[in-house]
Amino acid sequence: MKRFSCILLLLGSLSLTAQIPADYYQNAENKHGHALRVALYNIIKNHAQESYSGLWADFYSTDARPDGKVWDIYSDNPNGQTPYLFTFGTDQCGNYSSEGDCYNREHSVPKSWFNDATPMYTDLFHIYPTDGWVNNKRGNLPYGEVGNATWTSLNGSKVGSCSVSGYNGQVFEPIDAYKGDLARTYLYMAVCYMDKNLGYDQSMFQGGSLKPWALQMMLAWCAQDPVSQKEIDRNNAIYALQHNRNPFIDFPALANMIFGSDTLVAFQTAIDNYLFSNCSVFPNPATDYVQVSVSIIDEPLNCQLLNITGQAVWTSTISQGEESFTIPMQDIPQGVYILYMHDSHRQAVQKILKR
């Protein structure tokens, strides 16, 4: 159960229902491994190209917080007080001399890595509005996990020496809440641009593929930080502009099916896994109870509520076809918990906060 040691707070009910167009992934069905990667590449590669200046306006639909402010992954703090907020247009960079001055256009895959080439240069899937000062501190550094931090932002992002095996240079580490977002971004880039060179400068890529140390870290980040409603909404908003999608947001199981341990599993299984994982948890944060709804229970479902040390505080077996159940929370202490659900061939994880 050590894989649950990195826990984040989920501050609202989570629905993983994405607006996937009918038959969008049809040409990838029943494929696996490299053939699946190629099929997805052919589906998503021919997207509309945005202009670089047009990205400012695009952010209004792709990266707006629920309160209408800029959703900056380098300053947002889901677990506490966000240190500052940006207003679209008004706080657009511009000059900056410290955190909170303005936001700019962050190529999460630095543009120097692909020599400013198109269409990568304006692909919204890897371009985020972020604090200009923090973006400058990140520069062209790879993402990584920091051993000894030389600089820390107000939301906890770090610069420092890498502690991930396989790379010992300087890296930028985002906060845990956005590691999965960025990992799925990088897997998207490794499919959409598998025929390009993303490997100039101190890149995490070799050609169009992630280097081994980077790939293993990104797969771990995907597992640690599951798809959020923010990512789903952003995926749909970018689809409206570019007319392509990030498959790793639509179907999280694809990460391991293409790059991990499940390369012999055909894509249809990923659809089944996705449907099984398509569940809602409400209310969350919880006080007296949590109501869980799962779209498909075609065999008995084993459920455990685990605390941060991996100990089960509640267990149950849900009957086939039930599709909804309640977890009593009255006698459970305040804290963060993991709801782990599985049948004989699928699994799903949800995070629950008891207040």
Query: Do residues 192 and 69 both lie within one domain?
Result: yes
Residues 6+ apart with CB under 8 A from 103: 70, 72, 86, 91, 92, 93, 129, 130, 131, 132
Checking if the pLDDT of 296 tops 80, the result is no
Q: In this structure, is residue 191 part of a structural domain?
A: yes
- Start-to-end CA distance of the chain, whole Å, equals 23
Comparing C-alpha atoms, which of 72, 74, 91 is closest to residue 153? 74
CATH code for the domain in which residue 326 is found: 2.60.40.3080
How far is the C-alpha of 269 from the C-alpha of 277, rounded, in Å? 12
Q: Domain tally for the chain?
A: 2
Where among 265, 298, 316 does a domain terminate?
265
Asked whether residue 272 is assigned to any structural domain, the reply reads no
Q: What is the pLDDT of residues 169-203, one digit of tens each?
A: 999 999 999 999 999 999 999 999 999 999 987 89
Q: How far is CA 95 from CA 5, 63, 139, 295, in A?
A: 40, 21, 16, 49
Nearest Cα residue to 145 out of 231, 216, 210: 216
248 and 310 part of one domain: no
Do 242 and 314 belong to one domain?
Answer: no
Does the structure show a pLDDT above 60 at 28? yes
**In whole angstroms, how large is the CA radius of gyration of the chain?**
20
Domain termination site, one of 218, 234, 265: 265
User: Considering the chain, what percentage of its residues have pLDDT values greater than 70?
Assistant: 90
Most confident of 13-17, 40-44, 75-79, 264-268: 40-44
Q: Given this model, what pLDDT does residue 128 score? A: 98
Whether residues 252 and 283 share a domain: the answer is no
Same domain, 259 and 290: no
Condensed to tens digits (0 to 9), the pLDDT of residues 29-85 reads 889 999 999 999 999 999 999 999 999 999 999 999 999 999 999 999 988 889 999
Cα–Cα dist 354/344, whole Å? 29
Residue among 93, 118, 95, 117 at smallest CA distance from 106: 93
Residue 173 pLDDT: 98
Of residues 300 and 185, which shows the higher confidence score? Answer: 185
Q: Where are the alpha helices (DSSP H) in 139-199?
A: 179-192
Of 236, 265, 294, the domain-final residue: 265
Q: Return the percentage of the chain with pLDDT > 90, whole number.
A: 66
Range of the domain at 341: 278-354
pLDDT band for 7, please (50, 70, 90 cuts).
very low
Average pLDDT value for the chain: 88
Q: Does one domain contain both 54 and 111? A: yes
Give, for 269, the enclosing helix (H) or strand (E).
helix 267-277
pTM given for the model: 0.74
259 lies in the same domain as 319: no
Q: Determine the Cα–Cα distance for residues 271 and 290; give it in Å rounded to an integer.
A: 26
Closest CA to 235 of 293, 165, 297, 227: 227
Tokens of 52: 């670089």
